[in-house]
Amino acid sequence: MDIIKVDAIDSTNIFLRDMNREKSLDKPTCVVAREQLQGKGQMGTTWQSNPGENLTCSVFMPIDDMDIMDQFYISMTVSISVYEALESLMLPKLSVKWPNDILSDRYKICGILIENVVNNGRLRGAIIGIGINVNQQHFDNLPLASSLRQILGRNLEVEEVLSILLQKLEHRFSRLIKSNFSSIKNTYESLLFRKNKPSTFLDVKGNSFVGIIKEITTSGKLQILLEDEIVQSFDLKEVKLLY
């Protein structure tokens, strides 16, 4: 994999997106920044990261002509890859908080933001922004954020975390084919935070309700068993898991 290292940058995703527009990338490429000035999270949030203490990178992965309706398999593949990378570092109680936050116990240690590359109505690649809290010890007004250092009690080399992550991504993306979709979905669902446990959710109107996460649809919607024994599907903008 080609690796481009930069000191300070607005956003690794934007940098890689612009590079792809100019060069039409056709092989795995990673941009890693010591400092990201305008890192983005899900739903337009800002990713908080101290310079030099964490892993902030974006990876372009080519995809062999995938249907747009199958795009959530990319998100599942990325989540599994990051999970496996952190598992190899002995992080305890790992899980995936739908759709793709990685938790250790209840604490968020990684955020993922994916931008799909579409050409002639088909998926041709993905730009995967990944932020992993490695050595940062203080997070302002984020009581449920943590880092590898806080959890493991030791400093880690950011380069080591990057190397393991890229290995897992390349391995998992090599298996991202339709015949493996069922296995990918089963693996992803087995890692879901609070699956099959009564949990409290917040709907778009701000009302709370109790339900049980059962599975996801192939399009990535969360299926929740409600109190009246009805299973309802929710997309990312329709529900928030409170924990």
- The tokens of 8 are what? 């300070």
pLDDT of residue 47: 53
Distances, alpha carbon 222 to alpha carbons 8, 98, 186, 239, 241, in Å: 36, 8, 14, 9, 11
What percent of the chain shows pLDDT beyond 90? 84
Give 103-137 pLDDT, tens digit per residue.
999 999 999 999 999 998 899 999 999 999 999 99
Is the pLDDT confidence value at 54 over 80?
Answer: yes
- The tokens of 104 are what? 């250790």
Nearest-Å Rg of the Cα atoms of the chain is: 18
pLDDT of residue 68: 95
Q: Which is higher by pLDDT, 227 or 4?
A: 4
C-beta of residue 125 within 8 angstroms of C-beta of residue 60:
yes
Rounded CA separation 172/166 (Å): 10
Distances, alpha carbon 30 to alpha carbons 63, 72, 92, 143, 239, in Å: 15, 21, 27, 30, 32
Rounded CA separation 138/135 (Å): 10
pLDDT of residue 52: 86
Distances, alpha carbon 103 to alpha carbons 80, 218, 223, in Å: 12, 23, 20
pLDDT of residue 40: 54
Is the pLDDT confidence value at 78 over 90?
Answer: yes
Whole-model pTM: value is: 0.93
User: Could you give all domains of the chain from N- to C-terminal order, each with its CATH number?
Assistant: 2-190 (3.30.930.10), 198-242 (2.30.30.100)
- The tokens of 209 are what? 């309700």
pLDDT of residue 45: 52
Is the pLDDT confidence value at 41 over 60?
Answer: no
Give 167-214 pLDDT, tens digit per residue.
999 999 999 999 999 999 999 999 999 999 999 999 999 999 999 999
Rounded CA separation 76/185 (Å): 7
Is the pLDDT confidence value at 159 over 90?
Answer: yes
Is the pLDDT confidence value at 11 over 60?
Answer: yes
